[in-house]
Amino acid sequence: MDGNGRWAKSLGQSRQYGHQVGSSRVYEIFKACTELGCRTATFFAMSSENMNRNEAEISFISQLLKSSINEHFSDLIDNKIKFKVIGDLSSLPNKILEIIQHAENETKNFSAYNLNIAYNYGGHWDIINAANLALLNHKQINYETLCKYLSTSENYPDLIVRTGGYKRLSNFMLWQAAYSEFQFLDVLWPDISKNDIESIFHNYENTQRKFGLVK
């Protein structure tokens, strides 16, 4: 979800305002994705590296995480959406952690849809974390044992979309992206529309996926 800061700046507003409007688009865009047949989506809210931004921006974004969970908690329940925050959450204040854990707990038995937020998430962190967890239970790591402990388990994204104009992964799901399709949009995240989502899905459907095979 890149481009919040630039979007706000173009309006003469603060970066905070950009994050606030950006965050208010997440649930709406998730719904648009589910209407087109997608059952699982992960929104990259904050990377491990973003955590080196100034304290005020980091704490503002963590408060937004809390307020959006509160705002959409009943939507999660009503629509049977399993909610999860992935990433290293150890730096979050207890109050926010409790709200996350409550939402995760109350939705953990749903299987219709999955809405994940990646917060203080990095692909490097995910792999190292999975390796450490795997080593607690296994003498040696193989493909299956490592996948089991990744924050996404063995579910990999079919499609990764980045808004904001840059064509890079920025440490997102490095392991899981092995055979993902990629789409890069110039649109800044707060401006993303249902039309953008429709054309993303249309492009995806017209791509033949081969997974290294000859078709």
What are the residue numbers of the active site? 2, 50
Residue 141 burial (CB count, 10 A): 13
**Single-letter residue type at 200:** I
Query: What is the phi/psi pair of residue 145, to 5°?
Result: -65, -35
Spatial separation of the C-alpha atoms in residues 99 and 153, rounded to whole Å: 23
For position 6 contacting ligand IPE by CB under 6 A, the verdict is yes
Report the nearest approach of ligand IPE to the CB of residue 166 (Å).
Answer: 8
For position 87 contacting ligand IPE by CB under 6 A, the verdict is no
Spatial separation of the C-alpha atoms in residues 11 and 26, rounded to whole Å: 21
Q: Are 43 and 30 in contact (CB under 8 A)?
A: yes
For position 2 contacting ligand IPE by CB under 6 A, the verdict is yes
Binding flags for ligand IPE, 7-46, as an x/- string (CB under 6 A): ---------------------------------------x
61 contacts which partner out of Mg ion, ligand IPE, none, CB within 5 to 8 A by kind? ligand IPE
For position 4 contacting ligand IPE by CB under 6 A, the verdict is yes
Stretch that binds ligand IPE, among 2-10, 83-91, 118-126, 149-157 (CB under 6 A): 2-10
Spatial separation of the C-alpha atoms in residues 86 and 106, rounded to whole Å: 16
The two structure tokens encoding residue 112: 């219709």
Binding flags for Mg ion, 23-52, as an x/- string (CB under 5 A): ------------------------------
Stretch that binds ligand IPE, among 4-12, 83-91, 98-106, 191-199 (CB under 6 A): 4-12
Spatial separation of the C-alpha atoms in residues 141 and 134, rounded to whole Å: 7
Question: Strands 113-118, 81-86: parallel, antiparallel or unpaired by DSSP?
Answer: parallel
**Single-letter residue type at 125:** W
Residue ranges with strand state E in the chain: 40-44, 81-86, 113-118, 159-162, 181-184
Among 3, 87, 123, 157, interactor with ligand IPE by CB under 6 A: 3
Window 58-77: residues binding ligand IPE (CB under 6 A): 61
Among 48, 50, 120, 152, interactor with ligand IPE by CB under 6 A: 50
Site residues for ligand IPE per CB under 6 A: 1-6, 46, 50, 61, 164
